[in-house]
Amino acid sequence: MAEARAQNVQEAVLDSEADEYLFVVALDFGTTFSGYAFSARSEYNQDPLKIQLNQEWSAEGTQLLSQKTPTSILIRQDGSFIAFGYEAEDMFYSAIETEERENVMLFRRFKMELHNKMGIHEGLLIEDVAGRKYPAKHIFTLFIKALADNFKACIREQKLTINFRDDLKWVLTVPAIWSDAAKKYMRQCAIDAGIPDKMLKIALEPETASIYAQYLPIERNPDGFGMTKEGTRYMIVDIGGGTADITVHEKMIGGGLRELHQATGGACGGTSVDKAFENRLTEIMGETVMNSVREHNPETYLDILREFEVAKRRLKPNGEGKIRMTISYVVLNMLCKDILNQSLEEVFKNVEGMEIKGDKLHIDVEVMKQFFEPSIKELIMHIQNILENPHTDGISIILLVGGSSNSKHIQSEVQKAFESIRLIVPPEAGLSVLKGAVIFGHCPTVIKSRILRYTYGTSVSPKFDPTIHREDKKTTIDDIDRCMDRFSPLVSAGTEIEIGHKEIGMFSTTSSFQDKATVKIFCSPHQKVEYTDDEGCFQLGELAISLDKDILKMLLGQDLDVIYVFGDTELQVMAFDHESGKLASSTLKIREET
C-alpha cells in the first residue's frame, strides 16, 4: 500500500514538471553586470558548448566593452520603462544635460538588496542614484523583462520561429547563499515579467560555473581532463560583483556532481572594493562633498565608478608605480572650492599614495591593493573554513570564476594563501556562470545531490509529556493536554540530500465543511531544534491548500499527503489527493522577511 502511494505521488510530481522546449535561455542577473545566453535543444545534443551570447555592449566615451551590460535601469517618475544597461546610464547623462533629471530615475547595482535575507518583503524600497526611493519589486521585474525582451529581439533578428511562451525553458541565476525567500522573490519578479512559472528554473551561480568547467579541456592527462576525472574534489569560488559564493563538488562515476559542503560566502565581491575606494574619497574630500556628488552630480559619481572599474583591471600582482584614472576634474574642483575653500589639488596635496595631475587621479599600486585587502581577507577566511571541514578532505583544485576572478591581484593572493592547491581560472571566467546556466537548463540532473543549509520541519501539537516538554508550552484542547509549537523535523541541516528527495506527511481536516487549510513550514540553521520559537528558527512559509468541495468529503473529512521535495535549487511543497490520484490545488507562500 505504501509503495503504491509513493508511486502515485512520484507520477504526479513528474507530471507537474515541464520538459517540452526548443531553446534554453539563461538570464544572468548580476550585481554589477548582467547578460543572457541561449542554445537550441537540437544543437545542445550535438555540442553542449554551442551557446550564443547577447551582442557586445559598450558605454559611450569609455574603454569598456563587454558581453554583459551594467545592472542599471532608467525609468520615468510614473514607473514606465525607458532603457537598461549602458544605454540607461548614457541616457541618464543626456537627461541631466537637458535638465530633465527630475523626471527620470536611474537604479543600479540593486541586486544586493536581496542579499540580506531578513529584509525581503512586498513593500521593500530601493534608492536610485539620487537617493529617491521606489518599490523594489517593480524595478527587479522591469530589469528581468528588459533582458528577456532583448533576447526576443535577438531571436526575431535571426528570423527563428519560436513560440516565446511554450518553446522556451528559462533559467535565472541567483547566488547559492541566498535564502529561500530571496529565490522566491526573484521567481515572482520573473513571472511578473512574463516568464511562465512552469518554464522557469532557478540556478545557483557556483553550480552552473562548475557544470561549465566539465566541458573545458583545462588539463590534458591520461586519465581525462582536469575536473572531469572521477573522484576529483574541487572548490568553486564564484566572485561576482556583490557576493563571493563558494561550494565544493566531487565528480562522480557516471559524470554527475555531488555537493560536499553547503554553499557559503558573503558580501565580498567586486563592489566591496569599490566601496573601500569610495570610503577613502570620503575621508579625503569629506562627506559633504561626496554627498553632493552622489545626490546633485550623479553623472560625476557614475563616471568615477566606471573609471575605477577600468583602473581595477590594471592592477597586477607584481606591479609597481601608479595607476591612473580619469576624473571629472571640473565638477570635483568646483565642489571642493565651494565647500572646502580649497582646490582639488590642495585637498589631495598631503594624501599619501594619491595625487591629482590634470584630469587624472594617480593611485600608488600599494594603495590600490589596500582597497582589495578587506574583501580578499574575508574571501580567504571563507575558503580556509571550508578546507578545515573533514568532509572536504582531498580538495585538489580551486576553480575561480565570476567577473571579479579576472583580477590578477585576487588570483595571486588566493594562490599564495593556498599554495598546495591548484588554482584554475578558466577562459572567459566571467561568463562561466552564464554559459553553465544554459547547460544546466538542458540537463539539471547533472547535479546529483546537495547539502542542506537549513533544518526544515513543521509545527505539531502532540500530547503533553512532562518528561520531555516545557511546562510553558502546555495547553488544554478538548480536555487533552497538548504541547504547542513543537518542531517536527523533516530533514536536518548539513545532510546530503539527493535531488528530488521527498518527505511525505499526512494531513487531515480538523472540522466538517472545511474548504481550505494551511500547513506552516519552519526552518533553522541549527541541526537540533525542539520548538518553533527556538533561537534561529523562523517560519519559512505556508502551504495554502484548497480542499475538495464535495459535500460528502466535506462532511466526513479529507486526508491528504503533503509532499516536501528537497535537494533542488528551490523547496517544493505540494498536496496530493489519493482518492482523485491528482495533486490538490495548493500554493506555497514564502513568508516575507522583516
Report the range of poorest mean pLDDT among 141-150, 378-387, 585-594.
585-594
More confident site: 593 or 583: 583
Q: Is the dihedral of CA 293, 296, 302, 307 positive or negative?
A: negative
Distance CA 47, CA 52 (A): 12
Classified as helix, coil or strand, 162 is coil
Report the range of poorest mean pLDDT among 58-67, 80-89, 264-273, 305-314.
58-67
Question: Which residues lie below 8 Å from residue 546, measured CB to CB, with a gap of 6+?
Answer: 515, 516, 584, 585, 586
More confident site: 36 or 506: 36
Supply 456's cell numbers: 526544515
C-beta separation of 30 from 67 below 8 A: no
Examine the pLDDT at 258 and tell me if it is beyond 90. yes
Report the range of poorest mean pLDDT among 29-33, 112-116, 258-262, 361-365.
112-116
Q: What percent of the chain has a predicted confidence (pLDDT) above 90?
A: 59
Note the pLDDT of residue 260. Answer: 95
Q: What is the pLDDT of residues 306-334, one digit of tens each?
A: 899 889 988 988 878 899 999 999 999 99
Examine the pLDDT at 19 and tell me if it is beyond 80. no
582 CB neighbour count, 10 Å cutoff: 13
C-beta separation of 389 from 277 below 8 A: no
Supply 111's cell numbers: 541586486
| 510 CB burial (10 A radius; 0-12, 13-18, 19+) | exposed
Buried b or exposed e, range 107-128, using 16+ CB within 10 angstroms = bbbbbbbbbeeeebeeebebeb
Distance CA 338, CA 177 (A): 45
Examine the pLDDT at 338 and tell me if it is beyond 90. yes
Distance CA 70, CA 58 (A): 10
Note the pLDDT of residue 5. Answer: 53
Q: What is the pLDDT of residues 342-391, one digit of tens each?
A: 999 999 999 999 999 999 999 999 999 999 999 999 999 999 999 999 98
> Under the phi-then-psi rule, with left for phi > 0, alpha for psi from -120 to 50, and beta for the rest, what region is 112?
alpha
Note the pLDDT of residue 401. Answer: 94
Supply the pTM of this predicted model: 0.88
Distance CA 239, CA 67 (A): 17
More confident site: 462 or 221: 462
Examine the pLDDT at 443 and tell me if it is beyond 50. yes
Distance CA 381, CA 590 (A): 32
Note the pLDDT of residue 510. Answer: 56
373 CB neighbour count, 10 Å cutoff: 12
Residue 521 pLDDT level (bands cut at 50, 70, 90): very high
Note the pLDDT of residue 18. Answer: 52
Examine the pLDDT at 555 and tell me if it is beyond 50. no
Note the pLDDT of residue 551. Answer: 47
Note the pLDDT of residue 460. Answer: 87
Distance CA 381, CA 397 (A): 17
Q: What is the pLDDT of residues 358-367, one digit of tens each?
A: 999 999 999 9
Q: What is the mean pLDDT of residues 141-154?
A: 95
Note the pLDDT of residue 108. Answer: 92
Residue 269 pLDDT level (bands cut at 50, 70, 90): confident
Note the pLDDT of residue 221. Answer: 41
The candidate with the shortest Cα–Cα distance to 331, out of 355, 362, 305, 298, is: 298
Counted residue by residue, the chain has a size of 594
More confident site: 457 or 589: 457
Supply 43's cell numbers: 544543437
Distance CA 430, CA 311 (A): 18
| 508 CB burial (10 A radius; 0-12, 13-18, 19+) | exposed
More confident site: 317 or 592: 317
More confident site: 154 or 440: 440
Residue 220 pLDDT level (bands cut at 50, 70, 90): very low
Q: Tell me the average pLDDT of the chain.
A: 87
Distance CA 23, CA 41 (A): 5
Q: What is the pLDDT of residues 448-493, one digit of tens each?
A: 999 999 999 999 888 999 999 999 999 998 788 999 999 999 999 9
